[in-house]
Structure 1
Amino acid sequence: MFLHTLTDRRLQACAWLTIALLASGCSTSKDEMLPHGDATMMDVWDQGTTGSAGSASSRLLLDARQTLRRPLDPQQTAMRNDNAAFTRTAQNEIYSQFKRLPNPDLVMYVYPHLAGTDPAPVPGYTTVFPFYQRVQYAMPGERTEDY
């Protein structure tokens, strides 16, 4: 009996000690966890992207990059734009090989009528819907223009 009571007291003491330790872990303040500083968001961003805020090595790296940049002359830009029509991209490959077939819109007028099991009046209205339910594409080489 004595041994049983001693074990119960030890278990209770361990339980209270565990609860006290867990509760003390939650007693940290917000300011202690996330201290306020004089740094702005831009300073934090610069520090995260360049390694250290305003360091001499990062400034030298930025200066070196700036000297390597050179503007495009107008002749190169014009040549690049001329070749754009001949450059293969996913978009112009799809549109040049598989042309969309025309899908005319149909305009329908619905006359005033009664609808439902308990007939309710419905006023007349106009609606528009496509002729084909889905978009249709022509096969490569199939003629899509008018004859």
Structure 2
Amino acid sequence: MSRIWIKTAALLAVAAVSGCATNKAQLLAHHDRTMLDIWQQETGGQASGSVAARQLLDARLALRRPLTERDHQAAGADRASHARTARDEIAAQFRRLPNPDLVMYVFPHLAGSLAVPVPGYSTVFPLHARVPYALPGERLEDY
């Protein structure tokens, strides 16, 4: 029984080693081309000083326009509305949960070892001793 396991293990080892045998020239064939040749072929043969490259640069510059004063003002207001501060990030991730106030009425009673009479009164205290925060991703619509 152990000979069958040995033969199976040997066959699997040979198959695994033969599967890793590849030829570098086949896998990474570059056909004697340099990176400059590949770049020029992929960019349409445009060298930095060629006529086509100059026409492309002129077309790009024609599409660009200078910003006016109104554009600067609108960009400033837009930038301020999208600005992220640490306070906003924390408030967005960890939202405060409601902490309702409870009103408790204390009936008139006698207090202490001398049995001092205390009149009835109302007091207000929060439900939670600490401020509760929601975890990131926790639903708050039900509150």
Normalising by structure 2, what TM-score? 0.46
The structure with the greater share of residues assigned to helix is 1
Normalising by structure 1, what TM-score? 0.45
